[in-house]
Structure 1
Amino acid sequence: MYILIIYDIKVERINKVYKFLKTHLTWIQNSVFEGEITKAEYKKIEQKLKQLIDEDEDSIIIYNIPEKYMHKKIIGIEKNPVEFII
């Protein structure tokens, strides 16, 4: 599955969320991560994010995008270009 995570987290918790997501997904822009993961990884990510945030103050949106509909177009600079090295 391919997911896109967008978050708005209070400053005191943002580094923990960023560091955790960086271990599973690709950082795209401020507060945005994306990547291909398994269902088991998805459950792990969702559970850990619930532990890291305060659900009364923070917001996380997770989009699950089927690969056949996934198309990405970048206008302007790409903040974190992914380079494939063979």
Structure 2
Amino acid sequence: MYVILVYDIVVDDEGKKILPKVFKCCKKYLSHIQNSVFEGDMTPSQMMALRMELQKWIRKDKDSLIVFSSRDQKWLQKEFWGKEEDRTSRFL
């Protein structure tokens, strides 16, 4: 399945420690596309593993995480309004 994941972590004292951990978990499974937005293809078992890892860090009373999923990327239209990220720009 194709997934877009978006998270919002409250940056209080505890949130400052949680934010890099959530980022690292998401980066392990998906491609980082913008600030707290990730996308990519995942199997159901990968989705379950990611969910279990993130549940350790997401505080249900303060933080939020939204996952949009589709059968395949071809069913999703993506438009860039403004600067389009060039993934090759990080290579020397």
Answer yes or no: same fold by TM over 0.5. yes
Query: Structure 2-normalised TM-score?
Result: 0.80
2:79 to 65, 68, 73: 73
The percentage of counterpart residues that share the same residue type is: 37
How far apart are residue 22 of structure 1 and its match? 0.8
Matched AA of 1:55: K
Aligned partners of 2:10, 2:51: CA distance in 1, in Å?
Answer: 18
Q: Max radius of gyration: which structure? A: 2
Q: What value does the CA root-mean-square deviation take over the aligned residues?
A: 1.4
Query: In the alignment, is residue 14 of structure 1 matched against residue 19 of structure 2?
Result: yes
Greater share of helix: 2
Which deviates more from structure 2 when the two are superposed, residues 68-77 or residues 54-63? 68-77
Which deviates more from structure 2 when the two are superposed, residues 25-34 or residues 64-73? 64-73
Q: Secondary structure at the match of 2:62?
A: coil
How far apart are residue 10 of structure 1 and its match? 2.5
Q: Would you say how many aligned residue pairs link Structure 1 and Structure 2?
A: 82
Match of residue 33 from structure 1? 38
Matched AA of 2:70: I
Q: Could you tell me which runs of 5 or more consecutive residues in structure 1 were left unpaired when the two chains were aligned.
A: none
Q: Deviations over 1:14-61 (max 9, x none)?
A: 111011111110111111001001110000011111111211111000
Q: Secondary structure at the match of 2:40?
A: strand
